[in-house]
Structure formats: C-alpha cells, structure tokens
Amino acid sequence: MFNSAQKSLAIEFARSLSKREYDEAHAMCSQDLRSQIKVDRLREEFENIIPLDWGIIDPIELAESGDYPFIYVVLGGDVYSEAIIIDSFSIENNQVKVGSYQFGRP
C-alpha cells in the first residue's frame, strides 16, 4: 500500500522528532500541513506524548500491516511505547512529504 519512499520518510520524520529537531521534521511536511501547523505546535504535540524526560527513544520502527490504511511508527521507551500514525503523503517538487499525521497509539 505504501512505497519505500513513503516508509523511509515516515522513519526519518520520527527520527527527527526523537532528536528534537523540530524544524527538520516540519520541513518534511507538505506545504498545506506546514501552513496549518507551525513548528511550535509540532513540538508541543510531540512533547505531549514524548516528554523531555522520556530518555532514549528506541527502537524507532515501522509496524507494518497491509490491514491498516496508514503507516504506524513505533517509538519505543523504557516503560511504554508511543506511536506516530501517518495516513497521507503528497509529492512536492518530486519529493515525498507528510500530508497528515497523528501522535499517540490508536
């Protein structure tokens, strides 16, 4: 359902967020999404599920299933895990961009 470029972007988006590189993660979003969600809001939403005292976020991996109409990226932690769900992508200037995401486990 999702191609390798989309899966790769999903992992890179999660890694950027886990390193608290919010400007970089924001740049991976589509132009439409960036106009709706500024960097500060992206940071705030992410830190609501993964606070600064979380520790190391590991593993960061795809939980793949052909049954889901989205990409599910697991963000591992010492006590419990969280997730990023990416359910749409767009192509801008021949580059894949995140079109829509949700933080948290379903």
Q: Which residue has the tokens 């132009």?
A: 31
Domain of residue 16, CATH code: 3.10.450
Which pLDDT does position 57 carry in this prediction? Answer: 94
Q: Which domain holds residue 42?
A: 4-103
pTM over 0.85: yes
Mean per-residue pLDDT pooled into runs of 10, the chain (106 residues): 94 97 98 98 97 92 84 92 95 97 88
How many structural domains does the chain have? 1
Where do the H-state alpha helices sit in the chain?
4-18, 22-27, 31-36, 39-49
Number of neighbours of residue 94 by Cβ within 10 angstroms: 5
